[in-house]
């Protein structure tokens, strides 16, 4: 026989389901795309069935069943959705569904039912919907179709430009600070080389850790998805159908497509990884070591520019040459950024030149002040 704490938990779960169903109904009422509205109505129907489950539990225990009245938080979220659009609350709903799925899996009354899987499926569908535009087309896909957003090769180009920029600005600032302290040319060269090696090594280690962690995370997510395909294929097929409906495919076609894809486990895993997780399995072959080596090289290329003149020149000639080639490199990096932004070459180049010059001037003044203080 359920005790008082069990009854309190039943009532809490009932209220959560009532709140979720109310929100889905509210979103469906304001959604302009009828196919998306139908997705939300189906989610609401599932939540209402879950609410009925907890009502039955309360009746069986002889406890009073409270009316299905949405709570204050649910009413506030519904107002936000009506005022600013459904997108503003989808992430919140996804988190709530994910938590509900975890909670249901921990309790004997719901563990053996379909509810834990349905709640997890709802969370994944909502995350997918949160990443779509109002017309059900993903923004990145829309950008590719339009052809105006300069994304082709953008990640590699961005890494190259910004890696070289980091090396140039940081090492230029370093050697200018040392020069401001009125140290010798050999000291400037040594400081510059030390900055190059330290900065390049730091960038390489950070890049290796970032790429390796991402690969491990993606592989883990794909492994979990593979387990779910084996354990609950019907739920995964339903989830995939809802995702395709959210993208604008009619319900019957979405279900047919999902069933066809789920008939082959490898195809199903590849599709769910792309559609649900946003992961392209073909891109998981990247090497963390290659990324680290590339990051090291790009930073070093930028960092060597303000140091190179001191290998061949001395005194004021080395300083003047360093400033000239660093200024040119800053302008060229700014111009290279226009390949990503589409802005004016002159505007971007001059902006980068001013930023780099300001950083170098600041460290020069600090170095001069410190040098005077130490000498005094």
Which residue ranges make up each domain of the chain?
4-136, 154-213+298-375, 215-285
Residue 64, classified by CB atoms within 10 Å of its CB into exposed (0-12), middle (13-18) or buried (19+), is: exposed
Q: CA 370, 330, 169, 315: dihedral to nearest 10 degrees?
A: -40
3-state secondary structure of 132: strand
**DSSP of 245-290, one letter per residue?**
HHTT--HHHHHHHHHHHHTSHHHHHHHHHHHTS---GGGGG--HHH
From the list 7, 114, 118, the residue with the least C-alpha distance to 55 is 7
CATH architecture for segment(s) 4-136: Up-down Bundle (1.20)
44's enclosing H/E stretch is: helix 34-60
Rounded Cα distance, 295 and 159, in Å: 8
Q: Are 72 and 82 in contact (CB under 8 A)?
A: no
The whole-angstrom distance between residue 254's C-alpha and the CA centroid of its chain comes to 27
Q: How far apart are the first and last CA of the chain?
A: 85
Q: Are 192 and 170 in contact (CB under 8 A)?
A: no
CB-CB neighbours of 213 under 10 Å: 11
The whole-angstrom distance between residue 190's C-alpha and the CA centroid of its chain comes to 40
SS3 content of the chain, % helix, strand, coil (to 5): 80, 0, 15
Rounded Cα distance, 302 and 183, in Å: 23
- In the block, tokens 């991402």 appear at 214
HSE toward the beta carbon, residue 78, CA cutoff 13 A: 18
Please report, in tens digits, the pLDDT of each residue of the chain (376 residues total).
Answer: 778 888 898 899 899 899 989 998 998 898 887 878 888 888 888 889 989 999 998 999 899 999 999 988 888 888 888 887 877 777 777 777 767 666 777 777 777 777 777 776 766 677 666 655 444 434 343 333 233 333 333 445 566 777 888 889 998 888 888 888 777 778 888 888 999 999 999 988 988 888 788 788 778 878 877 887 887 788 778 777 877 777 677 778 888 888 888 887 787 788 777 766 666 665 565 677 887 888 899 899 999 998 888 888 887 788 788 889 999 998 988 887 776 566 778 888 898 899 989 988 898 898 888 864 554 4
Q: Are 190 and 223 in contact (CB under 8 A)?
A: no
HEC-encoded secondary structure of 209-249: HHHHHHHHHHHHHHHHHHHHHHHCHHHHHHHHHHHHHHCCC
């Amino acid at each position: 026989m359920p005790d008082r704490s069990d009854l309190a938990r039943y009532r809490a779960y009932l209220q959560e389901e009532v709140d979720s169903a109310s929100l889905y109904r509210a979103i469906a009422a304001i959604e302009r795309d009828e196919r998306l509205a139908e997705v939300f109505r189906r989610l609401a129907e599932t939540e209402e069935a879950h609410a009925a489950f907890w009502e039955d539990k309360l009746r069986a225990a002889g406890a009073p069943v409270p009316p299905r009245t949405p709570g204050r938080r649910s009413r506030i979220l519904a107002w936000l959705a009506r005022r600013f659009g459904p997108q503003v609350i989808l992430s919140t709903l996804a988190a709530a569904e994910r938590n509900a799925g975890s909670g249901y899996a921990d309790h004997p009354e719901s563990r053996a039912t379909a509810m834990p899987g349905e709640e997890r499926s709802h969370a994944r569908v909502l995350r997918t919907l949160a990443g779509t535009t109002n017309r059900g087309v993903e923004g990145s896909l829309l950008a590719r179709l339009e052809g105006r957003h300069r994304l082709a090769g953008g990640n590699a180009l961005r890494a190259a430009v910004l890696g070289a920029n980091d090396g140039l600005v940081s090492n230029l600032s370093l050697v200018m600070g040392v020069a401001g302290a009125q140290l010798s040319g050999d000291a400037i060269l040594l400081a510059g080389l030390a900055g190059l090696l330290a900065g390049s090594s730091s960038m390489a280690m950070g890049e290796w850790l970032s790429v390796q962690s991402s690969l491990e995370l993606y592989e883990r997510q794909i492994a979990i998805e593979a387990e779910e395909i084996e354990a609950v294929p019907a739920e995964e097929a339903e989830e995939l159908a809802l995702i395709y409906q959210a993208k604008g495919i009619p319900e019957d076609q979405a279900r047919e497509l999902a069933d066809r894809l789920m008939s082959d486990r490898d195809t199903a895993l590849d599709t769910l990884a792309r559609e649900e997780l946003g992961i392209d399995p073909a891109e998981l072959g990247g090497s963390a070591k290659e990324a680290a080596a590339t990051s090291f090289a790009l930073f070093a290329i930028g960092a060597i520019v303000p140091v190179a003149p001191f290998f061949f020149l001395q005194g004021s000639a080395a300083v003047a040459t360093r400033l000239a080639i660093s200024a040119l490199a800053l302008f060229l990096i700014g111009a290279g950024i226009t390949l990503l932004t589409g802005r004016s070459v002159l505007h971007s180049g001059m902006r980068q030149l001013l930023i780099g010059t300001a950083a170098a001037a600041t460290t020069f003044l600090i170095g001069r002040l410190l040098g005077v203080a130490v000498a005094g």
